[in-house]
Amino acid sequence: MNLRSTATAIGRRAWHVLAALAVTLMTGCGNMMGDVDGNWQMPIQASKEAADIDWVYYFIFWICLFYFVHIMGAMGWFMWRYRRIPGKEVEESPHHSLSLEIAWSIPPILLCVVMFYLGFDYYMQMSIPPADAIKIEVQAEKWSWKFRYHNGAESDELHIPKDKPVVFLLTSRDVLHAFYLPKMRVKKDIVPGRTTKAWTTANRAGDYTLFCAEYCGRSHSMMRAPVTVHETEAGWLAAIRPGRASPEKLFRMNCSSCHSIDTPEILTGPSLKGIGMSKRQVAAGGGAPTKEVLADRAYLKESILRPGALLSRMGKDFKDEMNKTFAKQLKPEQIESLVDYLLDPKKAMEKFEAELKKAEKK
Ligand SMILES: [Cu+2]
């Protein structure tokens, strides 16, 4: 292959890459997020603020596209028009042209000022929630979300009413995360040791997904939470009625980011499938297993209250990575409930439902 045909082949490949990029841009992120009814590059607009934000986005996009096409077009044209031709004398280049320089400096500067103004104005609107907004505390943690409402209820699903401004008070228990509701056009970093705010007025009832948009470790891509926008305020209040969480829910909210219970899969921690009354290989400190213990009520409780006292050696040399905060964070009856659940998930749920029925009869 000579130099010329190599260059042609590279050129052809570059065109393929460019064409693929263009197609990606045309089909738009909206489609990549699984929406067919969004607009060109964006998913559906599920908040009152979304239309304005899309407007600013497209305004800037079209200006950039206009300049991109004209600058690249002119560059291509000049490369062709003034290419070297054998036998043709090289002419002297033209010099300074004041009118040309004004033409290509002043309008872009004015457009930049307009873009800055629009961006800043909308940014301020996004930063300052209305005073009457409903407050919801959002706690992010590797790799789960927890939501706390004005009535003290907690859940791992986000519930909000339609047509009411809602402000999210965002905190992290460990590293950087980001609160991302693409269909509401809301995205805000969550910084450990600080409370950041984001707000929105959802205007379409339905089911959505909250994503973490800041890489936060191995299971970052799984860090999602279901979001429900309720048609009426009454429906929303019914969904967040405080009540005792089931053992299954307690496990899902506190433990399932590191432990599987239905499968033998090893996550950050060992699988807890069938742990109740089984023999466990453990090590005191690091290294090889030093003893075998029976996973009875006492062992399970100790594992939650004082993790790291014994390190599990069930399938892997686990490190001392379990949260040390459960003793403070969970109520004693929640710990009992979790221990019941580890001993026998099915029986624990039956016991919970029986107690719930009894309470309802009262
Ligand atoms: Cu995260």
SS3 298: helix
Ligand 1 centre and the CA of 168: distance in Å?
A: 16
Ligand 1 centre and the CA of 156: distance in Å?
A: 14
Ligand 1 centre and the CA of 277: distance in Å?
A: 35
The parts of the chain modelled with pLDDT lower than 70 are 1-12, 20, 23-37, 243, 359-362
Ligand 1 centre and the CA of 257: distance in Å?
A: 12
* Mean pLDDT of all residues belonging to the chain: 87
Check residue 359 and give its pLDDT. Answer: 65
Ligand 1 centre and the CA of 178: distance in Å?
A: 6
CATH of domain 134-239: 2.60.40.420
Ligand 1 centre and the CA of 141: distance in Å?
A: 7
Ligand 1 centre and the CA of 38: distance in Å?
A: 26
What is the architecture of the domain spanning 247-361? Answer: Orthogonal Bundle (1.10)
Bridge partner residues of 179 (DSSP): 188, 212
Tokens 């002297």 belong to residue: 92
Report the run of H or E that residue 190 belongs to, with start and end: strand 186-190
Ligand 1 centre and the CA of 179: distance in Å?
A: 8
Check residue 245 and give its pLDDT. Answer: 78
Ligand 1 centre and the CA of 78: distance in Å?
A: 48
Ligand 1 centre and the CA of 211: distance in Å?
A: 8
Check residue 17 and give its pLDDT. Answer: 72
Ligand 1 centre and the CA of 192: distance in Å?
A: 11
Q: Are 169 and 179 in contact (CB under 8 A)?
A: no
Ligand 1 centre and the CA of 223: distance in Å?
A: 6
Parse the chain into domains and list their residue ranges: 10-81+102-127, 134-239, 247-361
Ligand 1 centre and the CA of 173: distance in Å?
A: 11
Nearest to 319 by CA among 266, 253, 254, 252: 266
Structure tokens at 218: 């191995």
Ligand 1 centre and the CA of 144: distance in Å?
A: 8
Q: Label the pairing between strands 144-148 and 134-141.
A: antiparallel
Check residue 33 and give its pLDDT. Answer: 47
C-alpha of 7 from chain center: 43
Bridge partner residues of 187 (DSSP): 180
* DSSP summary character for residue 299: H
Report the run of H or E that residue 180 belongs to, with start and end: strand 177-181
Ligand 1 centre and the CA of 140: distance in Å?
A: 7
Q: Are 247 and 348 in contact (CB under 8 A)?
A: yes
Ligand 1 centre and the CA of 138: distance in Å?
A: 12
Ligand 1 centre and the CA of 64: distance in Å?
A: 32
Ligand 1 centre and the CA of 174: distance in Å?
A: 9
Name the amino acid, one letter, at 247. Answer: P
Nearest to 201 by CA among 46, 30, 26, 38: 46
Ligand 1 centre and the CA of 235: distance in Å?
A: 29
Check residue 98 and give its pLDDT. Answer: 92
Q: Is the entire prediction scored with pTM above 0.75?
A: no
Ligand 1 centre and the CA of 176: distance in Å?
A: 7
Ligand 1 centre and the CA of 147: distance in Å?
A: 15
Q: Are 175 and 142 in contact (CB under 8 A)?
A: yes
